[in-house]
Amino acid sequence: MNHAIEPITFTVSLSLSAHRAAEKFSRQQSNPRKAKQVYLNTLAVYAVNFYLGCLGFETDLENSESWNPVMQTLLDAADLKIKNIGKLECRAVLPDADWIEVPPEVWEDRIGCVAVKLSKSLREATLLGFIKQMPEKFFMYQLSSLEDLPEYLQTIARRSQPLSKIENPQNKEEATKPIEGAIAKLKQWFEGIFEPDWQPVELVLAANFRSPTHPVSGNIETSKASISRAKIINLGMQLAETTVALVVRLTTTATEEIDVRLRLYPARENYLPKDLKLTVVDESGKVCMEAQARRADNWIQLQFGALPGEKFSTIISLRDVSIKENFVI
């Protein structure tokens, strides 16, 4: 018996901030039909922007035509600019639609189009898949799997990288210096205050793992005494866009000490790259502990206790590339 394979999709909750942006832009249109068009386009772009953020891609909403009130009036554009890659069209799909008509003004200057199905209540947006070319119209069955979108975007990024950037020996020296992220204030996580790059664990893992059945070992749920957050770490073009997910879980104890558990998962692959290291250093830069991935490891972990005000950093490294994340309890 043949079993139909369910396509991989990604559903985004359309928050109050998404509707506020859509309302703000639509109010600037005097034509009701145009106002509705702008509203739906804004929600579609918001959903794709959230998804790409979970994947670790850097977007530029402010310089996208879809976020420009003047261009919204002149065009039916729902583009999202991805830094160093190009413009990705984000077309809204109504609940009962089987196909999408693409306006002429977006046939060119686009690297592809993501189909975004909006629920009747406009509370959710589901990314259905994407196409690489921009035809006058396309049907839902013509969509490529959403699973293949990250690799497609990374391929474009590699093609657009200047040759001088690849061949210059100085770049190899610079690659050995850790790229540092902003300081994450962990104690604030218990108050519901999170840095933008740190997303709910279930969203990050669902957005990145190739298979919905990808094994995620161990308990990552949160309780009143614990909180978890995840961040996508991209090790860059030198390592063929190797991407991992760093999951931080904080748990309160009977004392003022906070239990910190760090886990590193592969993103878009079944296993972590062999010899990938997760290192914890203190404020002075002294190595406190380290874990190294072996062949066929699908996660590695470090765990320790820290007091309020204590600072530490994690360094994720593979060969000459390393990414440093800074934390304070």
- Domain extents for the chain? 10-157, 174-328
Of the candidate ranges 21-25, 134-138, 233-237, the one whose mean pLDDT is the lowest: 233-237
Does the pLDDT at position 47 exceed 90?
yes
pLDDT at 209: 54
CB 43 within 8 A of CB 125: yes
Name the percent of the chain lying above pLDDT 90: 41
pLDDT at 312: 94
Write out pLDDT tens, residues 241-292: 578 889 999 999 888 899 999 999 987 778 888 889 999 998 888 899 999 9
Q: Where are the beta strands (DSSP E) in the chain?
A: 10-13, 79-82, 86-93, 99-101, 112-118, 124-131, 137-139, 179-185, 226-234, 243-252, 258-266, 277-282, 287-292, 300-306, 311-318, 321-328
Of the candidate ranges 148-157, 165-174, 226-235, 272-281, the one whose mean pLDDT is the lowest: 165-174
Averaged pLDDT for residues 291-320: 90
Chain centroid to Cα 135, Å, comes to 27
- Which distant-in-sequence residues (6+ apart) come within 8 Å of 204 by Cβ? 54, 230, 231, 232, 245, 247
Higher-pLDDT residue of 159 and 184 is 184
Does the pLDDT at position 195 exceed 60?
yes
